[in-house]
Structure 1
Amino acid sequence: MTATTPVLTDSKTLNEVVDCLTENIPIKSQRKCEQKNIFEILIRAATQKDSIENTTKVLKNVPTSNDICYHLEKYSDLTTLEKDLNKALQSQLPEDF
């Protein structure tokens, strides 16, 4: 590995973030709209500064924006969501931190 070779690629970073969110933030989903798909679409929309609707139109073979929003609406308790997000962030800290 050279000094110019990135340690983390975009793909590895995306996978790490999706895995972390999937492990720590329970969203009951079904069929093609699996948790992993939901988080991948949300992350892409956020990183591209785009809407969920446009992101699902650009990508192929993904759930619709209505499907994504339907599953997100199940998470209406923002206090619990905040706790789960904090747990997800804390899970990435080194153990001796």
Structure 2
Amino acid sequence: MSEQARKILEEQLEQCLGPEMPEHPTADIHVALRVAEIMEARGYAFKLKDLCPKSLTDSMWKASFSRNETEFASESSDAACALCAAAVAALQN
């Protein structure tokens, strides 16, 4: 994901989370997991799945948040970006 796309994603996430948002969650999965904790506190179930578990060279992640039988998911080669994009999708609906 380009730096510009990461910046836009973080701006969208900040609009949804406000002051709760950790700093630069698209840059580090450990920081992005704090977003998942915030989402879980708001009643969402969280899943992160490695879509290329046996590959040493390929990376693809699926992050999803669900609530009331509705799932909001995103896939990306970067786990932090997948998580943040799924959170934005969930919070904007």
Q: TM-score range by the shorter chain?
A: 0.3 to 0.5
Q: TM-score, normalised by structure 2?
A: 0.34
- State the structure with more CA Rg: 1
- Between Structure 1 and Structure 2, the one with more helix by share is 1
- Between Structure 1 and Structure 2, the one with more strand by share is 2
Q: TM-score, normalised by structure 1?
A: 0.33
